[in-house]
A and B are shown apart, each in its own frame.
Chain A
Amino acid sequence: MDVTIAEYIRRTVLKIPRDEIQTVLQKWGFLSEAQLQSINFHQRKENTAHEVVQLCEENSADIGQAAVLDIIYNHIYADKRMWSVYQMNKTGEETEVFYLTDFKKKIKRRLQSALKNVTITFREYEHNAIWIRIAWGTPYTKPNQYKTSYVVYHSQTPYVFISASVYKSNLPLLCQALVFASNYHDIREMELRSHSLNSLKDIVFKRYSQNFQTYCPRPLQDRNVAPESADPRIIQENKNEKERIQRVNREVFGDGPQPKLEFAQYKLETMFRSDPEMDVLDKKEPFRCLVKFSSPHLLEALKSLAPAGMADAPLSPLLTCIPQKARNYFRIREKKGLLPGSFVSP
């Protein structure tokens, strides 16, 4: 076995938290049951990794199998990477049938004809998710297994989730290959990025809970009613206002958990509006500034602003439109015309 492959497997195992190494190796399925039994998982990770590499030597692991181990790791710990969403368009009318083997062949063909030195690995997961791992090389060097891009594609959808590597220059080639293999015409990057791959999927596949006004007979539960304090001497003065805020919040955000985004960025190119007498700027020029909201869970934080009394309900539509518009990067320009205002550019 190549010494680089051994090192790669060793480093991949070291990335896994100690208690999870056994599960991941089982999912990998490359080592036999007997071999797995022989590993001591309760020692220091470095030693466990060393044992794993030795067993892989026995089985003569090649780069393909090492790549599968890497995909499995990245599938479980997908949240460690930053994912972008790309949308594909097609002008054709019919929905063509999606053939997985064709898709894989086309991707391989496109990438390998342009760049001889690439390692391409596929793995299918539930809900028709296809994971593609690509390790990039150059015409003169072997693929660098540490510079990898990951693509997640659900068949028959126009969305692709890409976690690119440092080699951004390979992105156009990758996009082209994807469009060609999935029978679409073009592809563009959406203004939607997050660490949470599942939340990105929730947003574009519309799997998050939107509050539709329906007559759907759901059991009338008291969802947000806090237990009435037993003491009748405590009176809520602002009960009406509180209920109004809860109601508006529920209409805007729905009942279920929000998709997990870490930030929303607004690039303002609007005119600075000051007192006409003060006339701060000599030239009438847009005042450029960047507003960035960050949070471990931005949408839940926004949802709790009004009930916590920190903002008025309803919140600005610029904040609440994020899941529906499927974007968290905005450019706000001056609205042209008589009325001064602002509009969100597409």
Chain B
Amino acid sequence: GLLAHLEMLEMRAHEAAVKKEEMQRQEEKLARLKARVQELRLQRDELRAKVDLQQKGQLGKEGVVSDPAQPNAQAVLEWKIKSLKAMLQIFYLTGISSKLTKRGVCFSISTAYEGTYLDSYHLDLLTQPEVRIQRHSVPIFIPLEQIAKKYLQTDIRRFMSVLSDHLNAYVGRRYQADQLQEHFSDQIEGALQRNSLCNLLVFNYNVSSQSKTFLFNARLLYGDLCSILPTEVVISCTPDAPASLAEMAGAHSDLFRHVALHKAFRSFRSAKES
């Protein structure tokens, strides 16, 4: 009847009111968020402008043209890292570098032979109450104790220089022997005999004379531990070798005394090929 109809109309009105409220609330929320977005955008633009200013200021000082399109904080950081690395590389390339530690200094000796960088060795030195070596990575057969006894207390520079000479000479001799074994194994007969310091090398190698091959035995003694050339070379041949070979032996002996081992063998090879 009528009452039911009235109730229905009431209900409809109620629903419509609720919906309207809902929509109003949504609109308010939307407006709020829009305002917030504007706020944040403004903030972002402000910060961007600040960074820009900073970039322009810094780059201006260093005389690098700044790229106006992109703020380059990243680029500056990368540049800084690169220049620091270059600085460290320079230290490394000089051969002797050091760093202060809590209780003293840590020295690093990086060795090289003819443009090839080889091993690095380190020493941790304590400075109180007197200069002494706390620990190190120098090979045991290098006479470190003797060198330290002579120079460590009195003249640290000399100590480092003498030690560096020993280490560089050792790796140089080792390099020559390694090169010989690696690249000239066809000319070497049997094994290359060497010792820890690489200051005594004994090996047999082939020489050809008048289209016949003979065996020479070479014994190289490096009496000076700071030198990469031998002080004594003895070359002997088999008893049945012709007399002309003695002259060759003498020439080789001379060569080994003045030229690095692998270079000498390279010259043999090129002489053979020519």
Contact = CB atoms under 8 A, between A and B. Distances in A.
B196 A154 contact: yes
A146 interface: no
A215 B91 contact: yes
A213 B140 contact: no
B101 interface: yes
B40 to A, nearest CB: 21
Tell me what chain A mostly uses at the interface: helix, strand, loop, or mixed.
loop
Nearest to B105: A213
Interface in B88-147: 88-89, 91-92, 97, 99, 101, 106, 108, 110, 120, 122, 124, 135-141, 143, 146
A43 interface: no
Interface in A144-173: 154-159
B88 A156 contact: no
Nearest to B134: A324
A99 B99 CA distance: 40
Interface stretch (A14-22, A67-75, A90-98, A221-229): A90-98
Interface string A68-107: 0000000000000000000000000101011110000000
B265 to A, nearest CB: 21
B135 A210 contact: yes
B92 A99 contact: no
Contacts of B124: 212
A205 B110 CA distance: 19
B244 interface: no
A127 B85 CA distance: 35
B269 interface: no
A217 B92 contact: yes
Contacts of B146: 93
Contacts of A3: none
Contacts of A95: 141, 143, 197, 225
Contacts of A155: 141, 195-196
A210 B122 CA distance: 9
Contact of B197 (A127, A156, A206, A214): A156
A34 interface: no
Interface in A8-26: none
Contacts of A158: 140
Contact of A205 (B139, B195, B199): B139
Contacts of B122: 210, 212, 214
B141 A156 contact: yes
A233 to B, nearest CB: 25
Nearest to A95: B143
B263 interface: no
Interface in A307-326: 324
Interface string A194-231: 00000000001110001011111100000000000000
Contacts of B193: 100
A206 B196 contact: no
Contact of A213 (B106, B136, B225): B106
A204 B85 CA distance: 34
Contact of A128 (B106, B110, B143, B196): B196
B106 A214 contact: yes
B80 to A, nearest CB: 14
A216 B140 contact: no
Which size bracket describes the interface of B in this complex? 20 to 34
Nearest to A97: B200
A215 B140 contact: no
B237 interface: no
A264 B85 CA distance: 42
B85 A213 contact: no
Nearest to B110: A216
B234 interface: no
B25 interface: no
Contacts of A210: 122, 135, 137
A156 B137 CA distance: 17
B194 interface: yes
Interface string B171-200: 000000000000000000000011111011
A206 B99 contact: no
B221 interface: yes
Contacts of B194: 128
Nearest to B100: A213
Contacts of B143: 95
B85 A128 contact: no
A100 to B, nearest CB: 7
A157 B101 CA distance: 30
Nearest to A217: B88
Nearest to B199: A97
A159 B139 CA distance: 12
B219 to A, nearest CB: 10
B92 A215 contact: yes
A214 B106 CA distance: 7
A305 B271 CA distance: 63
Contacts of B197: 95, 156
A210 B195 CA distance: 25
Interface in A209-259: 210, 212-217
The 8 nearest A-B residue pairs measured at CB:
A212-B122, A156-B141, A156-B196, A155-B195, A217-B88, A214-B108, A128-B196, A157-B140
Given A95-B225, A206-B138, A210-B137, 10 more contacts: A93-B146, A128-B194, A154-B196, A157-B141, A157-B196, A214-B97, A214-B106, A214-B122, A216-B108, A324-B135
7 contacts: A98-B195, A98-B200, A156-B141, A158-B140, A159-B140, A213-B99, A217-B92
